[in-house]
Amino acid sequence: MRGSIKGNLPQNMVKGLNQAQKAAVEHFGSPLLLLAGAGSGKTKVLTHKIGYLIREKGIRPHRILAITFTKKAAQEMANRVETMLAIKPRSVSTFHSFCVRVLREDIASLGRNFDQRFIIYDQTDSKKTLKDILKRFNLDPKEADDAQKIISKAKQTYRGNMVEYISSLPYPQNQYAEVANVYQRVLEQSNALDYDDLIHYTTQLFVTSAATLGKWQDRYDFVMVDEFQDTNEIQYSLIKLISGKNRNNIFVVGDPFQTIYTWRGAVPENILKFGREFGATEMRLEKNYRSTRKILDVANIVIGKVDRMWADKVLTLHTDKEEEGVVEYHDSVDQDSENRHIAEKIRDLAAAHSYSDMAVLIRMSFLSRGLESSFMKYGIPYEIVRSLAFYERAEVKDLLCYLRLIANPRDRAAFDRVVGTPARGIGKKAIGVIAENFRTDWIQALRDAGLSRRQRGSADALINMLLKHGDAVEEKPYTVLMGIIQELNYLEYLKGEYKEDHEDRIENVSELCNVLLSIETEGKLFSEFMEDSLLASDQDRISQEESVKIMTIHAAKGLEWPVVFLPALEEGIFPSERSLASGAALEEERRLFYVACTRAKEGLYLSSVDYRMKFGRTSSMLPSRYIGEIKGSYSRK
């Protein structure tokens, strides 16, 4: 069998690679840390490495575990491997998707009240659950964001007892210890995991069950990790655990100067730690295939001023491209004139570029409003890429919660939404009575609750609906959805509840039906669809329409455009006001600027303003320090 796979592969797995890329692909027998600069072809190295391992080392495709951070990156890697090798890789995934796979198979080994049908709570579900718990403790529900962040950090750092860890924190963080305890119990009661639980419980499972860890270690002969600089503490622990039996067969790729997620737990020092603990060989990719020389000059100048702790890891990017490219800087009087300048520049560049060749990357989301207004006036098609996704819209969430509750009658967040939408005469007091009667699931709780005659009629109708569709939802979500819409008379509900925009909302429901019809036709399970939609990132939501993309720099990481605009380069915005008092935060702002610059392939257009309106008053602004540092590397327009 191994020979037949090998026979279908290209003869030379290193053809078309430069010397540094070739060395990384052919390295075998000891851990490898590859420092890969922006645009240096790391994805090409990763895919060729997979081919090399299959052809030259005889490793079966499904025994190579390749992990990255976004679904988009995982799909791109898998597609490249399939194109190159005519083999569909089955073990290319994100951290969270890998953990879902482990838990679907082995969550029972945790010894907790979860089963393989667990559902995954998104941020909205999680926050709603925390608000309800905070009320029980006579705490302000507005503190849900703070509680969520503390619980998330506790899970990411992986402490044996999360509640004890939060209790050890200083006030006011420690007041959320018991909140966290109840929160986890509520999730378990609902057979639900939140986003952080996926990695937390998988790591806990591997730590506490040697048999389970051994089983998963035995499945893989080689482990690869992309974007290693973005790993947090628990992700590093997970990689150490899964690679334990084949510790020499591990390959990680990263760039400490593209670490821009420390605010959500990333630990760039993991790169240094990996080198020490694994005794890894270090290689570098510094030849850039994306950007022109002038853009790389700017990037190299800025990143060359990093903290000396990283001095020996600095990558000096270079290119063989003959064209120099464009770096321009424009100083406007105020934000309105800056936005007009950008719109006029885009209109001029549209003679040689398509609109989808251009992006405006912003440090803070409030900047999108003025850009949007200017683009509308100039007739420039645009798309603002932001976190409010299709599946977070109220009417879509309503219907998905019905499907979720049918699939998992223990789901508390879905029950809370379903029981009151559309209104069926079951108010807060009655919901409290139902909750008190919860023993096994919400159907049982609805049956056993002492309700008024009218409420009993509504409760029984809901029970009948849930039971009627229970066996079908996993394999026929579209069929079930159409039945629910009809039984609830949901479209009429939307017309009455949302008089101003019900037509748009009905179109959203129509689109959800289209999506689920496709899922049902393909034979994909509803639970798989929910995982895919939850684990999608902002980048997965970018459309392919002919339009200028407006997005935050954080959302743009890993992407590229021929032309990039960076507006509002002013002290207090970029770098941000909050970062000015912290050396570590300023370092991250510098890395963020580096990432922003290296998204551009041909043209980089920088701008700032002299005055900006803040809270209705005119404030004088200073150009960002980065403008001063790169003086002489740009033309002024």
Catalytic residue among 227, 230, 411, 531: 227
Task: Calculate the CA dihedral of residues 194, 198, 200, 203 and round it to 10 degrees.
Answer: 170
Helix residue ranges, H only, 535-629: 553-556, 583-597, 625-629
Q: What angle do CA 201, 204, 207 make, to 5 degrees?
A: 155
Cα-Cα end-to-end distance for the chain: 63
Contact 37, 317 (CB under 8 A): yes
Catalytic residue among 21, 212, 258, 455: 258
Q: Helix crossing, 210-217 with 233-242: angle to 10°?
A: 70
Read off the DSSP letter of residue 170: P
What is the token pair recorded at 520?
A: 């049902």
Catalytic residue among 226, 255, 531, 589: 226
Name the pairing type of β-strands 222-225 and 64-68.
parallel
Can you give the three-state secondary structure of 305-366, one letter per residue? Answer: CCCHHHHHHCCCCECCCCCCCEEEEEEECCHHHHHHHHHHHHHHHCCCCCHHHEEEEECCHH
Our answer to whether residue 258 is catalytic in this structure is yes
What is the token pair recorded at 276?
A: 């020490």
The helix or strand, by DSSP H or E, that contains position 133, with its residue range, turns out to be helix 123-136
Omega within 30 of 0 (cis) for the link into 422? yes
What is the token pair recorded at 260?
A: 């821009």
Our answer to whether residue 226 is catalytic in this structure is yes
Contact 495, 502 (CB under 8 A): yes
CB atoms within 10 A of CB 423: 11
**Residue 310 — φ and ψ, nearest 5°?**
-105, 10
Read off the DSSP letter of residue 30: S
Catalytic residue among 80, 284, 397, 599: 599
Q: Establish how many alpha carbons lie within 13 A of residue 517's alpha carbon, considering only the half-sphere containing its beta carbon.
A: 7
Whole-angstrom Cα distance, residue 493 to residue 193? 31
Whole-angstrom Cα distance, residue 221 to residue 29? 12
Using a 10 angstrom Cβ sphere, with 0-12 exposed, 13-18 middle and 19 or more buried, the burial of residue 109 is middle
The helix or strand, by DSSP H or E, that contains position 521, with its residue range, turns out to be helix 502-522
Q: Which residue type is seen at 466? A: L
CB atoms within 10 A of CB 500: 7
Contact 85, 10 (CB under 8 A): yes
CB atoms within 10 A of CB 424: 17
Catalytic residue among 22, 26, 43, 386: 43
Helix residue ranges, H only, 195-269: 195-208, 210-217, 233-242
Catalytic residue among 42, 55, 284, 612: 42
Residues with a catalytic annotation lie at 42-43, 226-227, 258, 599
